[in-house]
Structure 1
């Protein structure tokens, strides 16, 4: 076989992998075609690794230097952050409960000839030895696991002394629900909220996919509730955005919310205004545990 044949076969494998990757992503994103920005949103899912600069900057700011850092990502989803971390020089390892997402993440990594460890596992039973990692990332997963307390115990076990955990949690009183995009739903009794969700065509159940939990099955927390839970497992907790405000760094905000934020800064009320917004409006908290 000559060189041209080898190149041709390699290109065929790459093309096949790329086709499989897009087909598998489409299977999971098509139920969201109600979104006005669906075309661009879908494109960002297909090329997720290209849109991670802001997240990588956040991880580095609160988790430390990425190069040669052993990082555990719990629930890597479709693998965008995982691949971007590897490209930035980190040593990432991932778990993911959804087998399809595991395959998507592996195909995404294969785009760049990366062979990243991606294990089909749950956050409550991490298949690694004690003190294995410098940093753990748990984005958009706490609300979905069966037992958040068990996951926190596992994180405490696998993170080395002095290591950190970066995670997000959903505010129990989030005004616009981050999953169902319905305003005010978290201020309703959960049984009524579930009925409202069931009547909307924005659910994956209505579109033929059964992966999404009922709102009443997910774990949302107030800041104090989650802080108490984390402290019970030996963690200290800090709010990333509050830390940014304390250090004079402003997060971007557009429209009316941005104008209110800028007014609060001018009045020297940035932090109190943020705490009020955080507790009663904000959808997702970004936290650092150590």
Structure 2
């Protein structure tokens, strides 16, 4: 189902409000929940890299030196922090405002597309994944990291309850699964890891060579 302008605007408002404190707020979860995920993404990135919903640029330290990086982000406030981080790291990064659901790039523009901890809030994740496929070259890599519905029913029930608040407040989902959307879009799954009682997904997928 396509996202409405109101849904996208709600997510934008939420990130604009939280941008200044985001790095501080997520630091605890980075240690105990997402640990190693950003390094996992960086180790698999190659060539021309597009990071969708780059946020404050927390992945930037983990990309190898030989890649070229383009980042797109809905929130101008988050993007401003990412620009400062890139400058501090002395990394040349093209950072642009834009919507993951309508990527402003030509077909087959990138060798790798990365999206970390963002498909949980993008209003129409299926459309975003189709857009990611469109901008990848045939044989290109899709690298995803996100929190998803747990494999353990008691945790999944708690996630569902939490969503009753977070979806209304900021459009954030805890019971989504990105892997079925990746498969439905026609990607070939290369690696898939589920961690932390199945609440964390790491996905490395490949656009088929014969794809247009």
For the criterion TM > 0.5, the same-fold answer is yes
User: What corresponds to 2:137 in structure 1?
Assistant: 160
Per the TM alignment, residue 170 of structure 1 is displaced from its structure 2 partner at its CA by 3.1
User: What corresponds to 2:79 in structure 1?
Assistant: 102
Does 2:156 correspond to 1:186? yes
Does 2:62 correspond to 1:79? no
1:148-174 per-residue CA deviation (whole Å, 9 max, x = no partner) reads 111111111100011110112433235
Secondary structure of residue in 2 paired with 1:111 = helix
Per the TM alignment, residue 28 of structure 1 is displaced from its structure 2 partner at its CA by 3.4
Alignment root-mean-square deviation, CA: 3.6
CA distance in 2, matches of 1:194, 1:55: 25
Is the Cα–Cα contact under 8 Å of residues 239 and 285 in structure 1 kept in the other structure?
no
Shift in alpha-carbon separation, 1:96–1:174, aligned structure 2, 3 A: farther
CA distance in 2, matches of 1:238, 1:71: 18
Is the Cα–Cα contact under 8 Å of residues 132 and 160 in structure 1 kept in the other structure?
yes
User: What corresponds to 1:139 in structure 2?
Assistant: 116
Shift in alpha-carbon separation, 1:173–1:125, aligned structure 2, 3 A: same
Is the Cα–Cα contact under 8 Å of residues 82 and 94 in structure 1 kept in the other structure?
no
Is the Cα–Cα contact under 8 Å of residues 146 and 201 in structure 2 kept in the other structure?
yes
* More strand by percentage: 2
Secondary structure of residue in 1 paired with 2:187 = coil
Is the Cα–Cα contact under 8 Å of residues 135 and 163 in structure 1 kept in the other structure?
yes
Secondary structure of residue in 2 paired with 1:288 = strand
Shift in alpha-carbon separation, 1:140–1:163, aligned structure 2, 3 A: same
Per the TM alignment, residue 123 of structure 1 is displaced from its structure 2 partner at its CA by 1.1
Q: Normalising to structure 1: TM-score of the pair?
A: 0.53
CA distance in 1, matches of 2:123, 2:156: 20
CA distance in 1, matches of 2:111, 2:96: 18
CA distance in 1, matches of 2:93, 2:56: 13
Does 2:181 correspond to 1:229? yes
Shift in alpha-carbon separation, 1:227–1:104, aligned structure 2, 3 A: closer
User: What corresponds to 1:92 in structure 2?
Assistant: 69
CA distance in 1, matches of 2:62, 2:196: 33
* More helix by percentage: 1
Is the Cα–Cα contact under 8 Å of residues 42 and 59 in structure 2 kept in the other structure?
no
Secondary structure of residue in 2 paired with 1:162 = strand
Secondary structure of residue in 2 paired with 1:89 = coil
